Amino acid sequence: MKTFMLMGFFAVMVIAICYGVSWYMGNPAILYIGAIMALVTSIGSYWYSDKIVLRMTNAKPATREEARELYNIVENLSITAGLPMPRVYIVDDPAPNAFATGRDPEHAVVAATTGLLELLDRNELEGVMAHELAHVGNRDMLVMTVAVVLAGFVAIVADVLSRTLIYGGGNNRDRHPAFLLIGIVGIILAPIAAKLIQLAISRKREYLADATGALLTRYPEGLASALEKISATARPMQKASHATAHLFISDPFQERSRGVMQKINGLFATHPPATDRIAKLRGMDGKQN
């Protein structure tokens, strides 16, 4: 329900922008084209989310023989969680990270980088995979994938329409300049609002997946220790993009920053601070003990 509400919100945002521009320009074709593009993008992001992400990250399928420990961990956790066995992929990248994608548990994918497999011990790797399976069980992958596709689409539409407003012709000569100003402000604010919604969704779902994964393994320290090692590495990934950053367990562009820059980067980060996540997990461990 939340996914469809999100898709509807973005569709309404795009259509509202297109309506304003089409009214100002006196060209209803702009509205019709925008509505069709919003519909096609929403449907495409729903049905092909896993294929889009796998292609963007250059992830390769892994068999039990190629990654026995990873495959066994995912299989055991899936049975424990009562979920279908997801497809297992590996990303050839030295930066430690992992992600999940897919529109539902029956079409789910979990992936880990080669750097993650080399860095973590079994308990830590189990904690990370439990986190990713929590995303699967909570259906977070669809919400977050749809959010990034539609947020990107809003940004593209806003860019195209801003150029149309400024340089285009049409029957706009009798419109008051105030309407042009309002339209430009709306076009500027729309992609910012879409991005902030995407970030808010991502951060909230990360905290929830941490808690759900810890309950699944009954060992919060495994995930806490894994996050500690991953954040200490602070190594950006080679095969990630800003479009897929929020899908990973840790920010794939993470770099060490201090002071004011750390606070500024935190405002636009796709993930909550690792220190906060670790503290919450170790707080869960203390309550269990």
Catalytic residue numbers? Answer: 132
Q: Is the dihedral of CA 68, 135, 99, 128 positive or negative?
A: negative
Strand 87-91, strand 109-113: pairing = parallel
Sheet of 87-91: strand order equals 60-61, 87-91, 109-113, 98-101
C-alpha 5: how far from its chain's center? 17
* Side chain identity at residue 242, one-letter code: H
Contact between residue 245 and residue 253 where contact means Cβ atoms under 8 Å apart? yes
Contacts of 237 (CB under 8 A, 6+ apart): 91, 93, 95, 97, 113, 248, 252, 253
Determine the Cα–Cα distance for residues 70 and 59; give it in Å rounded to an integer.
Answer: 15
Number of neighbouring beta carbons within 10 Å of residue 86: 26
d(CA 210, CA 278): 9
Residue with tokens 């997990």: 281
Per DSSP bridges, beta strands 60-61 and 87-91 are: antiparallel
Place of tokens 């992609």: 191
Residue pair 183/165 in contact by the 8 Å Cβ criterion: yes
